[in-house]
A = this chain, B = another copy of it.
């Protein structure tokens, strides 16, 4: 009896808390899953949809919207029309998808919104829905492994004079860190791309699982990984700086903060930077302008020497510079003396998905020009997306600090 009273009171509290949302739970109702389909691992814990078939790699979406006229799913560049049943529930099944993580949106009467069935993933500058197509055994390296020690990802706010505001960053600290109170660690600064944020590498990229596995297996040396925000995060009416200024923030505010907060090795041989997409551009801007601070760099699907690859000069009025001219002028002439470059930088890692714009030609030209410590990595069958970047990190991190 006590137990029943107890439960009644609990229900009363829940009703208070949920009164505001009473009409809203419809979107999360369960429905039986078709044969072969499983809830996507990006779903909130009470949602069965979106559901994924790991064999066929198809996905089924489900939205409760009785009064809407048109409901669509926008996934991987294709807009799917959903079909309404008599209860006002809209569903559709997609084409087979590439494995890995994909953003998507639901369009309700032409308004793109987040699907309430998934966790939020910040992408394209809004909190977006996500779906994960399982990669099978190949994806073991980015899934949680209960049999190895795990690092912690620390959520930290630090003051930036340049930003004029506190900034949020995430810092991966390897599992062994606190067991070795006198040991100092090398640091990788790992940047996200346009429209995403400092949570991207841990949430979408599963970098914690990747690093835990690489370190536990001895493939990578234990290191600290710093993931800062690549934007100037103030509201538009008080923004004092542009996104280009983040390279200044990294060098003048962030690195000193990290070096005074953690047991880091502070020499340039113990500091690397890498980034994806726009973060690749920020990496080359930061590292090549501060060669006294970094000896290792990586760009994943990232900007790499803008003029190369046949893109013409501004306005198209001038003849495009030759590949050699581009190499010699890129980044204020950093490649012009290949021997000096080879001495200065331990690694220039360039990665891309095979289904996106490809820098292979530039890499070959750089090698032919005499740049030696260059590694070129391709992710088979993927485009400008997170599976490309998970694979890139998995290949890149073991090469560092050795």
Q: B-contacting residues of A (Cβ < 8 Å)?
A: 1-2, 4-10, 12-14, 16-21, 23-25, 27-28, 30, 33, 38-39, 43-48, 63-69, 74, 76-77, 103, 105-106, 108-114, 116-120, 122, 124-127, 144, 146, 150, 152-159, 166, 170-171, 178, 181, 193-195, 202, 208, 231-237, 277-278, 281, 301-303, 305-307, 311, 313-314, 318, 329-330, 356-357, 384
Contacts and interface: CB of A to CB of B under 8 A. Distances in A.
14 contacts: A6-B303, A12-B357, A17-B277, A20-B76, A21-B112, A21-B124, A39-B237, A45-B232, A47-B236, A65-B109, A108-B111, A113-B114, A120-B120, A150-B158
Contacts of A16: 356-357, 384
Contacts of A106: 113
A144 B103 CA distance: 32
A156 B166 contact: no
Contacts of A76: 20
A356 B12 CA distance: 12
A20 B236 CA distance: 24
A8 B371 CA distance: 25
A69 B109 contact: yes
Copies of this chain, count: 2
| A-B interface, 8 closest residue pairs, ranked by CB to CB distance from nearest | A9-B306, A120-B120, A67-B110, A39-B235, A4-B314, A5-B307, A113-B113, A120-B127
Most chain B CB neighbours (cut-off 10 Å) among A5, A12, A23, A178: A5
B7 A306 contact: yes
Nearest to A320: B5
Contacts of A19: 77
Given A4-B313, A277-B17, A303-B10, A150 B157 contact: yes
A234 B44 CA distance: 9
A400 B25 CA distance: 38
Contacts of A318: 1
Contacts of A109: 65, 67-69, 108-109
Contacts of A178: 178
B154 A307 contact: no
A364 B8 CA distance: 22
B14 A236 contact: no
A114 B111 contact: no
A2 B288 CA distance: 15
Contact of A157 (B63, B112, B144): B144
B110 A2 contact: no
A18 B196 CA distance: 11
A166 B154 contact: no
A256 to B, nearest CB: 15
A302 B112 CA distance: 37
A236 B38 CA distance: 10
A140 to B, nearest CB: 14
Given A39-B236, A111-B68, A150-B157, A2 B307 contact: yes
A379 to B, nearest CB: 15
Given A8-B311, A126-B28, A127-B127, A277 B13 contact: yes
A12 B125 CA distance: 18
A386 to B, nearest CB: 12
A38 B237 contact: yes
A302 B193 CA distance: 42
Given A181-B181, A303-B13, A1 B314 contact: yes
A28 to B, nearest CB: 6
Contacts of A166: 144, 146
A194 B18 contact: yes
Contact of A236 (B48, B113, B126, B236): B48
